[in-house]
Amino acid sequence: MGSNAASTSRTFLAYQHDANLHLHDTIVAAVLPFSALEEPNRLLFKQGSEDDHVVITEQTIFHPQGGGQPSDVGSMTFATTATKFAVTAVRMGQAQHDGQVLHLGRFESSDGVEMAAFKPGDSIQQAIDVEKRTLYSRLHTAGHVLGAAVRHLLENEVEGFDELKASHFPDLANCEFRGLIDGKWKDPIQAKLDEYLAAKLPVQVEWWDEEDFRANGLERLIPDRELLGVPAGEKFRVVNIVGAEVYPCGGTHVETTDRCGPTKVRKISRSKGISKVSYAVE
């Protein structure tokens, strides 16, 4: 299977506009053997091997790992030849693939025998693993709701308080905050979290520019364009948990907070001026 030179156009992130797209038709832009990737991109895939390929498409419903959210998995199918590409990992490309989504996986036919690769221009159908997407969306939204609960309770109680980062991986989900959060806050945080979940707050995806952040008194949240790779003039994607908090975020979410399901604060740990609040969804 030969490699194809990748086009330079960015992948359209269809999942950012409609997280309920579980099937999607798009066009193949490039196909590359894993070994042909530049080293920075090979290093993105710890499980990558000589038997794998990377497919780049014009659009994608696969969320690449990032922002604390695991990547989607699933498949791509070319109906004309019954060729199927099993997608095992997805990352946002670097180097010359900056802005392009790299789908790692292997080609197989319907009977499990390896087939010829897709070609640029082929029209294929993407399908994500819906069960995993739903879990990741519940975890991601729950993490934001937890962050909102902690901020509401402790912003003026904890010296130097700020929200730092979060991981929304199953079994490893946690939110980190600057400042020392005493263990006595675990039950109040759980109560506020439960309140936000029960309220069925709308989780709205919106697109803001710098002025929108200022108009809402949220200058502290204005993202770094260079860091996120958002060109000048383009708006930032934000997730507005109406009545709770706004977060610049590229991930997938449930539509209302109650759809996170029961969410439990597991523990609060502290180290070197940083507090970590871990959580799980049931």
In the block, tokens 């790692």 appear at 104
Right CATH number for 12-128 from 2.120.10.30, 2.40.30.130, 2.40.30.10, 2.40.110.10? 2.40.30.130
Model confidence at 141: pLDDT above 50: yes
Q: What is the pLDDT of residues 147-180, one digit of tens each?
A: 999 999 999 999 999 999 999 999 999 999 999 9
Nearest residue to 238 via CA among 269, 262, 274, 203: 203
Distance CA 17, CA 280 (A): 27
pLDDT at 96: 73
Where does the pLDDT of residue 4 fall: very low under 50, low under 70, confident under 90, or very high at 90 and above? very low
Model confidence at 17: pLDDT above 70: yes
At the top level of CATH, the class of 133-281 is alpha beta
Distance CA 87, CA 76 (A): 7
Residues of CATH 3.30.980.10 domain(s) within the chain? 133-281
Q: What is the pLDDT of residues 74-110, one digit of tens each?
A: 999 998 888 899 999 999 998 777 889 999 999 986 5
Residues of CATH 2.40.30.130 domain(s) within the chain? 12-128
Q: How far from 46 is each of 26, 33, 69, 110, 192, CA to CA, in Å?
A: 27, 15, 17, 27, 39
